[in-house]
Amino acid sequence: MGRRSTRADEAREPEASGGPAEGRYEISSGMAELIREPESADSWLLKINGVQSSHVVVGDPLRLDFEYMRWMAALIGSRWESGEKLRVLHLGGGACSMARYLAAAYPQARQVVVEIDAKLAELVRRWFDIPRAPLVRIRVGEARAVTESLSEDSRDLLIRDVFSGSTTPEPLTTLEFTRAVRRVLSPGGVYLVNCGDTPQLAGAREEVATIGEVFEHLVMIADPPMLKGRRHGNVVIAASDEPLETGPALIRELLHGAVPAQLWDGAKIQQFCRGSAIRQDPPVN
């Protein structure tokens, strides 16, 4: 006997008055699901096509529940003071968790969030307390095309957090794309990457090798089980044409977080990616 469908099973339309509401919503790329977290009425988890995408606490933009975002925030905080006028490009929008955080931590920042899914961008604006343009502007478009269209030296920080399912689209991981990122960044700017990978870490090794062909200075951050190849998870890669912070304060902050993490640089980075392939765009026929 078939199971009767319920409203929770069906895609729903967002409330006209706005604000988040639990349910499944049709978006341009499939289905979004918004789930209220049990610990707080203002805590929300966003899934895209069944995969966890973002976590938001309405009214508390400085709270980041995903550990890789906390690692990114720690590295950003080691690089820039809170009063600096950062120019930030986010590739991959989701619920704009990182953009909300940076708007609160760096009130003078000007940010553009590139999101390929137009319907998702509309819903996220309606649901969550995202600062309005020019503080945070959501631009609907494909991440590589937008990056390649930008002016030289026009961003101080570029964050790549783009996924199709559990992997980053290949065109956003190649040598040619990384060169486009370098062109867009100002001198001393930072390229931050969220690399999702399997225990074999083959993807992370190739990403580090590829990014290292363009940027002189690299660090990577991950928790010990991930670095030892014991689980699926996230590796944060940071790159710049100037040295990145690797001092005791940042190390302590990473180690004392809810999910303790390690920072690798220099010889450890070189050993990690030794012999790995450089990812390149396919040849044009």
What's the CATH code of the domain at 247?
A: 3.40.50.150
Contacts of range 100-103, beta carbons closer than 8 Å, 24 or more positions apart? 100/56, 100/61, 100/128, 100/129, 100/130, 100/131, 100/136, 101/61, 101/62, 101/64, 101/69, 101/73, 102/76, 103/61, 103/130, 103/131, 103/135, 103/136
Residue 280 lies in a domain: no
Residue 41 lies in a domain: yes
Residue 279 lies in a domain: no
From first to last of its 285 residues, what are the pLDDT tens digits of the chain? 344 334 445 666 665 557 899 999 999 999 999 999 987 889 999 999 999 999 999 999 999 999 999 999 999 999 999 989 999 999 998 999 999 999 999 999 999 999 999 999 999 999 999 999 999 999 999 999 999 999 999 999 999 999 988 899 999 999 999 999 999 999 999 999 999 999 999 999 999 999 999 999 999 999 999 999 999 999 999 999 999 989 999 999 999 999 999 999 999 999 999 999 999 999 987
pLDDT computed for residue 10 by the predictor: 63
**Do 203 and 86 share a structural domain?**
yes
**Do 80 and 218 share a structural domain?**
yes
98, 71, 241, 235: which is closest to 168 by C-alpha? 235
Q: At residue 137, what are phi and psi to the nearest 5 degrees?
A: -110, 130
Task: Tell me how many domains the chain contains.
Answer: 2
**Do 103 and 12 share a structural domain?**
no
**Do 144 and 257 share a structural domain?**
yes
Residues 232/197, Cβ–Cβ less than 8 Å = yes
Separation of CA 113 from chain center: 10
Q: At residue 222, what are phi and psi to the nearest 5 degrees?
A: -165, 165
pLDDT computed for residue 285 by the predictor: 77
Residues 114/93, Cβ–Cβ less than 8 Å = yes
Q: What is the Cα–Cα distance from 151 to 162, expressed in whole angstroms?
A: 21
Helix (H) and strand (E) counts in the chain = 9, 12
Q: 210 Cβ partners below 8 Å, 6+ apart? A: 173, 174, 175, 178, 278, 279
Residue 36 lies in a domain: yes
218, 234, 232: which is closest to 272 by C-alpha? 218
Indicate the residue type of 25. Y
Residue 218 lies in a domain: yes
**Do 14 and 135 share a structural domain?**
no
**Do 179 and 236 share a structural domain?**
yes
**Do 101 and 174 share a structural domain?**
yes
Residue 11 lies in a domain: yes
Residue 1 lies in a domain: no
**Do 132 and 76 share a structural domain?**
yes
Sign of the dihedral defined by the CA atoms of residues 271, 272, 276, 278, in that order: negative
**Do 84 and 31 share a structural domain?**
no
Residue numbers of the domain that contains 166: 67-273
Where does residue 188 fall: left (phi above 0), alpha (psi -120 to 50 degrees), or beta otherwise?
A: left
**Do 33 and 86 share a structural domain?**
no
30 by DSSP, 3-state: which? strand
**Do 47 and 105 share a structural domain?**
no
**Do 41 and 84 share a structural domain?**
no
Residue 117 lies in a domain: yes
Segment holding 105, helix H or strand E: helix 97-105
